[in-house]
Structure 1
């Protein structure tokens, strides 16, 4: 992957797809001045080598109350999990992202409540997968969380002459209450999480319903922000060496000041993941070289060292792609399987009435 070199046309197309993953072929042909067959060949190249389309379910709509980030020093047991398929499958039911390096690991996941999260975390510690002494668990409750960017790579754009399009749905919204999803809607969401490129015909065939109904339900789910479509780039192909992970603590009563500083950080640095609440902030920045890590660290120290920032630096580490193993990466289908409403196997009925929602 890292040996592939992008030309200007490919870079422009990548920037357009990152800034707006829902662009159809007709619009892209106009933007790039290409014919349909030329665009098909271009898409085949960049989606096989650089981009991955991912469907991100809006976990807040599905009744998960918590998002959590766990990080620390990996144990021998965790390092061995990189070669254990059963353990990988277990991680995919608890984490959407789990990055493992020789001296550090980061995991991101969702939980329905505190009890379920702490029970699973204790089991991982008891089994020796995590170490209670060298692992830190940061919990973000839905009612307090702010997503400044959730695996949104638009901050990395600007390398070519393409003008990124405005993508309005680049932030996860937190709903009031939960959606009551019909079986067909759950089937559509799960199918898209497994295979974002799944056509309406494929989903209709596996769900035992009509293409027209799937198309209508799919459009409705997307309009209601039940899921988001992302184009995730291979950062190594784009010239990045890895990413830096930052965890910050917010002083009591200073969340507004901290939020102002965090937004400034996201504007200045290539941040692709950033979540915060009243007590903590976590973000990840793409880095090109180790020198850039130190430059970013100095710049961030300068930004947050003032008395009016309301934050204290907790920790920073870098993870290089040459050392990192991704046990889970953008895997949202696995965690959906743990949701009690996602029970599969039944033949879905062709209902015509809209679902009741609360």
Structure 2
């Protein structure tokens, strides 16, 4: 509303100049006229200045999921009240295990040796082949002191429904056939949101931008040290296509920071696993995630796919002596000490 208000102000100055004395009327008219024309031209040429769009390309209002009555979201993973440990819980499989840490109610990915695209796959939900909408939400930020380099967000369609969910849960590091689609917030340059391809070629660690995407709102955002809410929504269209909508919000102020839209995405490419993604272009980078939520009828719930805390068992029988062994996931230092005493 800044530009319309300023324009109105100067137009009022123009009309007021008519009531001034004959001596200075021409000066005030010229000053007010050119000022009004300059501001109005700036408004027309640069529509992104001042008044940001608050609608998607089809006119639908851009609204946070928790403010919409049609959005029913469920908690898919939460790390509150957990001890510090590398195991992210029974609903999450991380790649690699040592790159992720549950601590202080969050899941943190610490970059190690410039390794790209660390993933945390959701085991209990995936995207089915139903032509329905879906929504994913997570709170995200950088750890204080992290180098702002890379991106973080969501990976969807990992495995494209052709891999067993356990095989798809291993997807990380490099792009390749069936690798999925990245929907992320950038931490480099001017920042912003983007949709990237993790399936464009075999054994590559580059992730090019997908075609048919456009920025709807851009407020020069970068992923930083303050909490942001990242929302991803998939909306079915005719002809077996989907529109993907990615928006990011300030958690505390509730302000829309950015929105980006991808159209004409094949529905088949979205089948498969859902994962959190953390990609670092440096060593001193730590991405922090909180409160992963999902919703929508395309999501399919698989409660039997949880994993842990027991990773496996082993037994041996020799000379009528039975020996049993149990392998646990990393449970935290305090629990590890108790386990060793058993």
TM-score (norm 1): 0.23
TM-score (norm 2): 0.24
Answer 1 or 2: which has greater helix percent.
1
Answer 1 or 2: which has greater strand percent.
2
User: Considering only CA atoms, is the larger Rg found in Structure 1 or Structure 2?
Assistant: 2
Which structure is higher in RCO with an 8 Å CA cutoff and minimum separation 6? 1
